[in-house]
Structures are given as structure tokens and as C-alpha cells.
Copies of this chain bind each other. A is one copy, B any other.
């Protein structure tokens, strides 16, 4: 951010009175421009013992597989966002069951909220952001070709819980050890105690 979105004048980074963080503040009208994390909402669409994945047609991670998910829009709920993204990316209709994972990605200021969902029919096909959409059993998941750590970790938990016969909502944090190598570290809330 270089200019004030209210008056068009230059902004500077300062710590406003009564605050303890640097903010972008307008040099003319004084508006403080707060920046906040974004939510990404999506689903784990399930049909019998299989999970629906989408192969990405766009960057980042074009060509790799992901769960249908995307940035939440204003004036919708997390569930509505998850349904919308599933429809947009896979043309798939689902019934949302429950929130399954809440994953923090503090380094990029994103929070993922992924819901377990029941696929309503097999009439799905790729949306404009997907190259391919397909159902995978646990043994068929392309673990080495998953687009994002959050997808990998959510699917691992999902199949573990499915074997135990009960799904528990979980909160976790993902930190990259090295962005180049893709190595990352996962801290699940509750595991440390």
C-alpha cells in the first residue's frame, strides 16, 4: 500500500497513538489502514470411500492436486464460501457436514477452514481454475503431487479419523522451514501439552 484509499494521498508507516504496531497511515486525512489475515474456505467432498480432488489450472502450483477451496468473500458465511468454491472449481454440489480443520499459515497471513462435505451426485467437471477433477480412494491419493501442505495434512488427519470412526475438529499451524525445498513444520493445538 502506497496511497490512501480514501483520499488518494501518500501513506507512511507509523505506530499510531494508542497502538503498538506499524500501520499505513495517510499523511493528509489521517486514515489508518489496517491489514488483516484472509480466510480460505473449502471442502473435503466425500463420495462413499473416495475424496474429490481438483488439479489446478492456475498458479501457484499449477498441475498439482488440491481440495476445492478459495478466498472467502464479504457477506457470506464460511460454509457458503466453501460451497461456492466447490461449485466453482469442480462444478460439484455438496452438503456441508462440519468444520474439520482450521489451519493457520501465519507466514502468509492466511487461515484455512476446511469442511467435511457429502458429494450429492457424480455430475462434476472441472471449473475454469481446474484442469481435472476426480475421486480418489485413500490408496490412490497422489501424495507427492498435492499442491499445498494444508491439503496434505488435512487429508492425513481425515483418513486417520475415518479409520477410528470419528472425526474431531482440529486447529493447526503450518510453518515453512524452507520455501524453496517446500519443507514445513506442523504444530497441532493440544499436541504440545
Interface residues in chain A, defined as those with a beta carbon under 8 Å from any beta carbon in chain B = 1-11, 18, 21, 33-39, 71-80, 95-99, 102, 104, 106-107, 109, 111, 113, 128, 169, 171, 173, 189-190, 193
Contacts and interface: CB of A to CB of B under 8 A. Distances in A.
A73 B36 contact: yes
Nearest to A11: B5
Given A8-B8, A96-B189, A102-B102, A109 B2 contact: no
B8 A71 contact: no
A81 to B, nearest CB: 9
A96 B38 CA distance: 22
A37 to B, nearest CB: 5
Contacts of A72: 36-37, 111
A76 B173 CA distance: 10
Which 4 pairs from chain A and chain B are nearest by CB? A3-B8, A77-B104, A169-B169, A74-B109
